Amino acid sequence: MELQFFNTFERRIMPFHAIQPGKVGMYTCGPTVYNFAHIGNFRAYTFEDVLRRTLEYFGYEVRQVMNLTDVDDKTIRDSRAAKLPLREFTAKYKQAFFEDIKTLNIEPAEVYPAATDHIKQMIALIQILMDKGIAYQAEDKCIYFSIAKFPDYGKLARIDRENQRAGVRINTDEYAKDAVADFALWKAWDEADGDVFWESPWGKGRPGWHIECSAMSSEYLGSSFDIHTGGVDNMFPHHEDEIAQSEAATGKKWVNYWLHCEHLMLDGEKMSKSLGNFYTLRDLQGKGWSGREIRWVLIGAHYRKKLNFTFDALAQARETLNKFGELFDRMRSITAAGDGSEIFSNIAERKEQFKNAMADDLNTAAALAALFELSRSANKLADEGALSQAGAQAVLAAFRDFDRVLGALAVDEVRTAEAFPEDVVSLAEARSAARKAKNFAESDRLRAEIGKLGYAIEDAPGGVYKLKKL
């Protein structure tokens, strides 16, 4: 099946065609590094990771660029409140972000350009817009983009241009959807900026938020590229403004496919810093949840559907991943002879099912069904003693293959055996010997003894047993 994505720009599912065969240029709006990212943000980053991994699964070489917004209204405001130089303040959260994406097993992007390292490129881009008469300097010394000069303004978010009020200007980085107005490309310095400013042909100041993505994407991906992503809340004004800046400067179509993920919700509301209803990744780790479990929750629902975050979902993720872990352990323990043919056709079907589901606009929920079905049939064959070592190894290989996209199964992770008390282990060994000798009365008595000590014992084929704390 051919890869196809829902292109927000056209509001329809479209087959994916890369500009350069076999290669994908992808720009993903990254974090504003003024705080720890919350798991709503990570829904966007894990969605982008699954997209990236799926493209790789389909044989593309991906060049992903993710910006780090280390200067904007919020970073300046909070660094001043913390009485720290901007660079020192944002460095802490940049580092935290990289630690967090590692925890979530998010594949690193090829480039993480920081806004403050690209002021020169932003000034050059603003200069082009000035030279073309699309940007202008207002009385407040800020440089604005004149949306009246760009008739396509509003084409991504499909906003009503009737609402446009001539001459209305906005110089905050984020603004409401009904505030269609000229937006700031360069903000003249004012006292609230403290020592944060750069020299420019228009006086000292700093860039607006939107210009960084236009400048840095062309620096690292060229003037047109394949995919641009973000959360739905980024569509307006941020992505709309990015399109206006880039296309007004080059006169070319900037991005071919726009993909936006829906929000992670908490109790029916968007998880967000401003509402205060959020968990950071670190909050959840502190409660004992692992990166894999959190990732599993975030990738399990289709990216274009709202996802309500609950602790029940995390508990379910834990159970599911443990079941897979047990399956992998079981597959590893199978040593029977045979050519593996008993499971091969099933594996081929499930791989096809998985691939088709991912090709269909990243339908992760349908893709996971393939894993559950393969797990069921592998366990069933093993129960019947009808799975050979070759077959079991092929099952493991299939899961490794799925995990290239999912990044959550840790197929080869050796689960550290729980440390059981010595008396429990010796009772379990004695029971195992009794079973081998077909002394089932003794075996049952020993099982009861183990139970009294608060443990349960489960048997797997081949004399393998497993202890569990009750």
Contact set with Zn ion (CB under 5 A): 29, 213
CB of 213 to Zn ion, least distance (A): 3
Q: How buried is 417 (Cβ within 10 angstroms: 0-12 exposed, 13-18 middle, 19+ buried)?
A: exposed
Closest to Zn ion by CB, 106 vs 313, is 106
Here's the x/- map for ligand AMP, 85-124, by CB under 6 A: it reads as ----------------------------------------
Closest to Zn ion by CB, 29 vs 281, is 29
Q: Which window, 28-36, 177-185, 251-259, 420-428, contacts ligand AMP (CB under 6 A)? A: 28-36
Read off the tokens for 88.
Answer: 């020192």
Closest to Zn ion by CB, 75 vs 375, is 75
CB of 431 to ligand AMP, least distance (A): 51
d(CA 327, CA 379): 7
Contact partner, 71, from Zn ion, ligand AMP, none, Cβ < 5-8 Å per class: none
Residue nearest to ligand AMP (CB): 231
Determine, following the binding rule CB under 6 A, whether residue 29 of this chain makes contact with ligand AMP.
yes
Contact partner, 90, from ligand AMP, Zn ion, none, Cβ < 5-8 Å per class: none
Contact partner, 233, from Zn ion, ligand AMP, none, Cβ < 5-8 Å per class: ligand AMP
Closest to ligand AMP by CB, 40 vs 154, is 40
List Cβ neighbours of 129 (8 Å cut-off, separation of 6 or more): 135, 145, 185, 245, 248, 249
Q: For 133, which DSSP code?
A: T
Size of the chain, expressed as the number of residues it contains: 470
d(CA 105, CA 130): 43
Largest Cα separation within the chain, whole Å, is 95
Q: How buried is 109 (Cβ within 10 angstroms: 0-12 exposed, 13-18 middle, 19+ buried)?
A: buried
d(CA 404, CA 113): 26
CB of 297 to ligand AMP, least distance (A): 13
CB of 246 to Zn ion, least distance (A): 11
CB of 318 to ligand AMP, least distance (A): 22
CB of 293 to ligand AMP, least distance (A): 18
Contact partner, 271, from ligand AMP, Zn ion, none, Cβ < 5-8 Å per class: ligand AMP
When binding is defined by CB under 6 A, the residue of 41, 75, 217, 443 that contacts ligand AMP is 41
**How many CB atoms within 10 Å of residue 168?**
12
CB of 352 to Zn ion, least distance (A): 36
When binding is defined by CB under 6 A, the residue of 206, 270, 302, 431 that contacts ligand AMP is 270
Which residue is associated with the tokens 């009365």?
Answer: 441
CB of 79 to ligand AMP, least distance (A): 16
Q: For 111, which DSSP code?
A: B
**Main-chain dihedrals φ then ψ at residue 257, nearest 5 degrees:** -130, 130
Determine, following the binding rule CB under 6 A, whether residue 218 of this chain makes contact with ligand AMP.
no
When binding is defined by CB under 6 A, the residue of 65, 271, 381, 394 that contacts ligand AMP is 271
d(CA 441, CA 425): 19
Q: What share of the chain is helix, strand, coil (3-state, %, to 5)?
A: 50, 15, 35
d(CA 328, CA 410): 10
When binding is defined by CB under 6 A, the residue of 264, 368, 374, 395 that contacts ligand AMP is 264
Helices (H), 34-117: 39-57, 73-81, 86-103
Nearest 5 degrees, angle CA 97-CA 100-CA 101?
90
d(CA 101, CA 42): 8
Here's the x/- map for ligand AMP, 224-263, by CB under 6 A: it reads as ------xx-xx--------------------------x-x
CB of 108 to ligand AMP, least distance (A): 17
When binding is defined by CB under 6 A, the residue of 8, 32, 146, 320 that contacts ligand AMP is 32
List Cβ neighbours of 384 (8 Å cut-off, separation of 6 or more): none
Closest to ligand AMP by CB, 298 vs 358, is 298
Closest to ligand AMP by CB, 365 vs 397, is 365
Determine, following the binding rule CB under 6 A, whether residue 272 of this chain makes contact with ligand AMP.
yes
d(CA 310, CA 302): 16
Closest to Zn ion by CB, 143 vs 213, is 213
**Main-chain dihedrals φ then ψ at residue 301, nearest 5 degrees:** -95, 155
CB of 16 to Zn ion, least distance (A): 21
Contact partner, 263, from ligand AMP, Zn ion, none, Cβ < 5-8 Å per class: ligand AMP
Among the listed residues 196, 239, 227, the one whose alpha carbon sits nearest the alpha carbon of residue 70? 196
CB of 453 to Zn ion, least distance (A): 58
Could you give the count of Cα atoms lying within 13 Å of 351 in the half-sphere of its Cβ?
Answer: 18
Contact partner, 213, from Zn ion, ligand AMP, none, Cβ < 5-8 Å per class: Zn ion
Among the listed residues 5, 100, 61, 86, the one whose alpha carbon sits nearest the alpha carbon of residue 303? 5
Could you give the count of Cα atoms lying within 13 Å of 238 in the half-sphere of its Cβ?
Answer: 20
Residues in contact with ligand AMP by the rule CB under 6 A: 29, 31-32, 40-41, 43-44, 230-231, 233-234, 261, 263-264, 270-272
